[in-house]
Amino acid sequence: MNILGEIAGIATSFFFALNAVVLTSVGKMVGSQVTNRVRLVFALIYLVIINLILFHEPLPFSADSSHWVWLSISGVIGFALGDAFLFKSYVMIGPRLGSLMMSLAPIFGSLIAWVFFGEILSPLQMLGMFLALAGIAWVVSSHKKAADTPRGHTRTGVIFGMLAGLGQAMGLVLSKQGMANHFHPFQANAIRLLAATVFIILWMLIERKAGATIQVIRENPASIGLLALGALIGPVLGVSASLLAVQLTEVGVASTLTSLAPVLLLPISYFVLKEKISWQGIAGTILAIAGVAVLFLAK
């Protein structure tokens, strides 16, 4: 029984949970758009170094054109567009409620994978997904909206979160196509990040926001360290783990396991942010863990 894909999915959620806290803090300092631009640049630098060490080339230039096409499209949709919606959602409605909207990604992903690859989940896998997603929803719904949230921000933040979930699902499906023939996740992630970074920089230049972006960073020097940390945790480690997960198991299963960040955020919220944890949060965690266990048994 090979469960490496499932383990990679859970590792992804761990990295994403930490990343949500870091990028929510830095997003409030410099804004979601600046956060998205700068952390992609940091992440690309990290992956160039990793690829040089592991594969002796900064980018996978020796890869087939099909890898580059599929993974480049995946990077633009997943990183440049999907994550832009995600960070805007985090800033508007917080990391846990934003993560709840992201939990729609497994549903989107399963439907898209069924159309693209004919992937059909077994009844036991569908049960595990249902339990895990129900648990995630229960955990996040127990979190009350902050009293100072501006009117209208919750609805807009939810919409952005749903778009982020759709972007993540499409990004994973396209990545699975682009990683055919056992293409390494670090190489795949480098292509995705390159495409996303080029797209973001071009868009920034079109909007003439390059100067404003640099000015915001200069005015908030403390954000640089957080952006560098968030880039390492999320786009490099978290996304590479998610690519390994989707490469080794079904898209729906991988998406479910990579959506556990709200559950893993509970101990962070309790011990670091000093938030109270309700019985609903505890019950939702137990339900989500049960769903994960069923997904492992389905292997």
* Gap between the Cα atoms of 247 and 261, Å rounded: 20
**Cα gap 223→29, rounded to integer Å:** 7
- pLDDT tens-digit readout, 27-62: 889 987 898 889 999 999 999 999 999 999 999 999
Q: How many CB atoms lie within 10 A of CB 10?
A: 18
The CA-CA-CA angle for residues 5, 107, 80, to 5°, reads: 80
Report pLDDT for 230. 94
The pLDDT score that the predictor gives to residue 15 is 95
Are the C-beta atoms of residues 176 and 113 closer than 8 Å to each other?
Answer: yes
Quick: pLDDT tens for 272-295: 777 778 888 889 888 998 999 999
Indicate the pTM of the whole model.
0.87
**Cα(146)–Cα(140) distance, integer angstroms:** 13
Phi, psi of 213 (to 5 degrees): -65, -45
Distance in angstroms (rounded) separating the CA atoms of residues 203 and 80: 10
Residue spans of alpha helices (H) in the chain = 4-30, 32-55, 65-75, 83-93, 95-102, 105-117, 123-141, 153-178, 185-206, 210-219, 222-231, 239-248, 251-257, 261-271, 279-297
List of residues 6+ apart from 257 with CB closer than 8 A: 6, 9, 10, 12, 13, 132, 245, 292, 295
Task: Read off the pLDDT of residues 106-122 as tens digits, 9 standing for 90 and up.
Answer: 888 998 999 888 888 89
Side-chain half-sphere CA neighbours of 186 within 13 A: 17
Length of the chain: 299
